[in-house]
């Protein structure tokens, strides 16, 4: 499909592959987005399911971010309005595989939804935690919300933000979670130094970007 952006996000775990098509039309909603889940069988990859959500509105960008861990798939729609009058709040859909079908088991929204939060812009999932980036929160300074995974579902445990940030940094735009480590990008951070743990706090280099490693 034209301008579907198939491949805009990717996640793989074991024999399961998930691919986002964040600008694919969904029904009558232009560029609402979708995700495709494939499984590996012997030598071939086979489409298991196309995933979309009936609550999506136009330009929601469902599939902008996604991640897989075991039988759980999380998909972000960072531009879907949680409230009709508040654009780009964002939502995260949590699905669990049951045999050959993925079923939605939860819907996450920002704790205090606001215009342009972009909750779900970045996602990181491991065996014990889900991390959700809200790259547009607080004038696009950004934040990350951590949820503990347990028998009764997901429980929000922590809000993460840099000690020093500026409007437009977009902390939480991308997230990777592996074991005890979480990596979070702030691609529009105005850094003034290079290397690991730079001592400079200058904002001389506009939109130079930064990556935070958390443990």
Residue ranges of domains in the chain, CATH in brackets:
6-214 (2.130.10.130)
User: Model pTM?
Assistant: 0.91
Is pLDDT of 176 > 90? Answer: yes
Which H or E run includes 119?
strand 119-125
Kindly tell me the burial class for residue 60, based on how many C-beta atoms sit within 10 Å of its own C-beta (0-12, 13-18, 19 or more).
buried
The percentage of residues in the chain with a pLDDT greater than 90, rounded to a whole number, is 64
Model pLDDT, residue 64: 96
β-pairing verdict for 44-51 and 34-41: antiparallel
- Tell me if residue 168 falls in helix, strand or coil: coil
User: What is the side-by-side order of every strand in the sheet holding 153-160?
Assistant: 119-125, 129-134, 143-150, 153-160
Q: Using one digit for the tens of pLDDT, what is the confidence trace for 138-170?
A: 999 999 999 999 888 899 989 999 988 899 999
pLDDT of 85 reads 53
> What sign does the CA torsion over 110, 6, 126, 208 have?
negative
Q: Of 113 and 194, which is predicted with more confidence?
A: 113
> Given a cut of 70, is residue 83 above it in pLDDT?
no
Mean pLDDT of 181-199: 81
Please, are residues 122 and 173 in contact by the beta-carbon 8 Å criterion?
A: yes
């Amino acid at each position: 499909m034209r301008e579907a952006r198939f491949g805009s996000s990717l996640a793989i775990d074991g024999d399961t592959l998930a691919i986002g098509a964040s600008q694919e039309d969904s029904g009558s909603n232009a560029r609402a987005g979708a995700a495709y889940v494939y499984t590996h069988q012997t030598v071939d990859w086979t489409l298991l399911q196309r995933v979309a959500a009936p609550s999506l509105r136009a330009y929601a960008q469902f599939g902008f971010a996604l991640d897989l861990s075991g039988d759980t798939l999380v998909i972000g729609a960072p531009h879907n309005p949680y409230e009709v009058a508040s654009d780009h709040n964002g939502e995260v859909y949590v699905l669990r595989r049951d045999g050959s079908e993925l079923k939605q088991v939860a819907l996450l929204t920002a704790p205090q939804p606001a215009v342009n939060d972009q909750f779900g812009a970045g996602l990181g999932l491991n065996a014990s935690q889900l991390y959700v980036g809200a790259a547009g929160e607080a004038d696009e300074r950004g934040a990350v919300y951590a949820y503990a995974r347990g028998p009764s579902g997901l429980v929000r445990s922590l809000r993460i933000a840099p000690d020093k940030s500026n409007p437009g940094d977009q902390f939480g735009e991308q997230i990777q979670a592996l074991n005890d480590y979480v990596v979070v990008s702030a691609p529009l951070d105005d850094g003034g130094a290079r290397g690991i743990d730079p001592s400079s706090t200058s904002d001389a280099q506009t939109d130079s970007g930064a990556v935070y490693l958390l443990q």
